[in-house]
Amino acid sequence: MKLRIENWIENNNFSEDVNVLFTDAVTCYKARANRASLLFSYLAFLTILKERIIEGTKPNLFPQGEWDKLISKLQNEDLWEANVFDATQQQEKIDQATKQRIKDPIFSLNDNLRLQIKYWKDRRNDCAHYKDNIIDTFHIENFWAFMESNMSKITIEGGMQSLINKIYKHFDPTITPPDKDITPLIQEVEYSVERSKLKHFWETLLNNGEWDFDLSKRKQELISKSLEVNKDFVNDSLIAIVKANKFYLKDFLSNHTDKVLRFNFNEEEVRKFWKTQLPSCNNILGLYTSFLRNGLIPQNEIAEANRTIISAIREYSPTINEHQILLGNGFLNTFKEEVLNNSSFVGYKSYLWVNDRADIISGVIKNYPLTMI
At 101-119, the pLDDT tens digits run: 889 899 989 999 999 999 9
Helix (H) or strand (E) segment spanning residue 94 = strand 93-94
CA quadruple 319, 325, 331, 332: dihedral, nearest 10: 70
3-state secondary structure of 319: coil
Assess whether 18 and 114 both reside in one domain.
yes
At which of 100, 132, 156 does a domain end?
Answer: 156
Is 257 a member of any domain?
no
pLDDT of residue 133 exceeding 70, the answer is yes
The reply to whether 60 falls in a domain is yes
pLDDT at 365: 82
Residues 125 and 207 occupy one common structural domain:
no
Which of 59, 10, 262, 38 lies closest to 142, judged by CA? 38
- Provide the pLDDT confidence category of residue 178 given band limits of 50, 70 and 90: confident
The predicted pLDDT at position 11 comes to 85
Distance between CA atoms of residues 327 and 99, nearest Å: 67
Whether 153 contacts 113, CB under 8 Å: yes
Instruction: Please tell me whether residues 288 and 189 are part of one structural domain.
Output: no
**pLDDT for 354 beyond 50:** yes
Looking at the fold, whether 34 and 147 belong to one and the same domain comes out as yes
Banded pLDDT at 342 (limits 50, 70, 90): low
Instruction: Please check whether residues 39 and 139 belong to one and the same domain.
Output: yes
Q: Say if residue 78 is in the same domain as residue 172.
A: no
Last residue of a domain, one of 95, 129, 156: 156
Chain segment 46-80, per-residue pLDDT in tens: 999 999 999 888 888 899 999 999 999 999 999 99
pLDDT of residue 122: 95
First to last CA, the chain: 63
Q: Is the pLDDT reported for residue 373 higher than 80?
A: no
What amino acid occupies position 281?
C
Mean pLDDT of the chain: 89
Q: What pLDDT band is residue 356 in, cutting at 50, 70 and 90?
A: low
Q: Which of 171, 164, 155, 221 is nearest to 189 (CA)?
A: 164
Q: Which of 293, 296, 350, 288 is nearest to 313 (CA)?
A: 288
Number of separate domains in the chain: 3
Residue 24: which residues within 8 A CB-CB, separation 6 or more? 36, 40
Q: Which helix (H) or strand (E) holds 159?
A: helix 159-170
Structural domain of 292: 265-373
Same domain, 40 and 109: yes
Q: What is residue 214's predicted lDDT score, i.e. its pLDDT? A: 55
Q: Are residues 43 and 142 in the same domain?
A: yes
Give whole-number Cα distances, 311 to 271, 279, 346, in Å: 16, 8, 18
At 358 the pLDDT is 75
pLDDT of residue 309: 93
Q: Which of 87-101, 237-251, 351-365 has the lowest mean pLDDT?
A: 351-365
- 251 has a pLDDT exceeding 80: yes
Partnered with residue 103 across adjacent β-strands are: 93
In tens, the pLDDT along 197-234 reads 899 999 999 886 544 445 688 889 999 999 999 999 99
- Asked if the structure places residue 130 within a domain, the reply is yes
Last residue of a domain, one of 214, 248, 282: 248
